[in-house]
Structure 1
Amino acid sequence: MRRYRTLIAGALLLTGAAPAEPARYPPRSILLFVASWCAPCHGELRQLPAIAAGAGAYRVLVVPIDRGRVTDAMLRVVPAEQLWRPDMERLAELRGDLLAKTAGLPFSVAIGGDGRACAMHRGGMTAASAREMRVECEG
């Protein structure tokens, strides 16, 4: 195993290539953070089809930051393919890495093709703001 690692390291040095890091977040997506206690978040969920249309090729993923019956009821309007429920460890990582950049909700983050944040939006998301985030990431 050690010899194998040495060979890979040598090959990387010769080619100048660095090992690719795995994507931190779902690539080409807009993460829409919501919570049951956030009144504007409920409004955003009612606008989800329009927001998704504005996002174009980027997937809109709803990320609940709280758990419970009220949250489950709120999320019934979200199609399963647009819901991302990270486990508690991953949610803690999201809180420290992305949610720490805002004072509260509503808050959205666009993730580029490399799996890294490329645009942020504070306040209620609309089709126009989703489009602006996508353009910022592609530009």
Structure 2
Amino acid sequence: MSRRSAAVIIGPIKWLGIALLLLGLPAGAETGRYPPGSVLLFVASWCAPCHAELARLPAIARGARPFRVLVVPFDDSPATRSMLDAVPEAQRWRPEREMQRQLARALRAETSGLPFSMAVDGDGRECGSARLGLDAARAEALVAGCVR
């Protein structure tokens, strides 16, 4: 198989996983590195669409069922930490600081910025992504791509 056809087959979301591995995740982190059965909603205080997503969080969570929606800080700024104060604790995922930095670097390389969401299958592997602000319908479509 040529490199070109491999790139087409692997697709952009797999490159995110590869980037995370190349950035030095610990051995064994390849499988199950994300919370299983979840939609990760990356947010930052400077992202206007992210504020709108948080305002729609209950509807997004309903649309994502049976997956749970977890809000992930894109950066560790005081403003972003404050933004997460309004999110119920059960809907937050705060990876350890180095993992958070690796995620942010990989996302910057993969996307043009926020908003960005990632669906994670039952094994903790990414199974879909969205580069638009989520609402209930988009969350439902994102999860449907993972539950076949």
Shift of the alpha carbon at 1:69? 2.9
Partner residue, 2:62:
53
Correspondence list, 1:11-26, <5 A: 22-26=31-35
SS state of the match for residue 146, structure 2? helix
SS for the counterpart of 1:124 is coil
2:113 to 79, 104, 114: 104
Deviation at 1:96, TM superposition (A): 4.5
SS of the residue 1:137 aligns to: coil
The answer on 1:79 being equivalent to 2:83 is no
Q: Which contiguous aligned blocks of 4+ residues in structure 1 show a shift greater than 6 angstroms?
A: none
Gaps of 5+ in 1: 1-20
Where do 5+ consecutive residues of structure 2 fail to align? 1-29
CA RMSD of aligned residues (A): 1.8
Query: Could you tell me how far 1:32 is from its partner in structure 2?
Result: 0.2
Structure 1 letter corresponding to 2:73: P
> Could you give the per-residue CA deviations for residues 3-38 of structure 1, whole angstroms, max 9, x where no partner exists?
xxxxxxxxxxxxxxxxxx741211110000000110
- Deviation of 1:102 after TM superposition, in Å, equals 1.1
Show the counterpart of 2:143: 134
Deviation per CA, 1:15-67, whole angstroms, max 9, x where unpaired? xxxxxx74121111000000011011011000000000000110100001122
For residue 36 of structure 2, what is the aligned residue in structure 1? 27
Of all paired residues, the percent bearing the same amino acid is: 55
Is the CA contact 1:46–1:77 (under 8 Å) kept in the aligned structure 2? no
Q: Look up the match of 1:39.
A: 48
Q: Deviations over 1:79-99 (max 9, x none)?
A: 000011112211133234455
| 97 and 27 in structure 1: CA distance in 2 versus 1, 3 angstrom threshold | farther
* Alignment-derived partner of residue 91 in structure 1: 100
Q: Is the 8 A contact 2:43 2:114 kept in 1?
A: yes
TM-score (norm 1): 0.79
Alpha-carbon distance between aligned partners in 2 of 1:131 and 1:100, rounded to the nearest angstrom: 26
Aligned mate of 1:114, from 115, 123, 139: 123
| TM, length-normalised to structure 2 | 0.74
Are 2:134 and 1:125 aligned? yes
User: CA 1:100 to 1:28, structure 2 compared with 1: closer, same or farther past 3 Å?
Assistant: farther
CA distance in 2, matches of 1:98, 1:110: 14
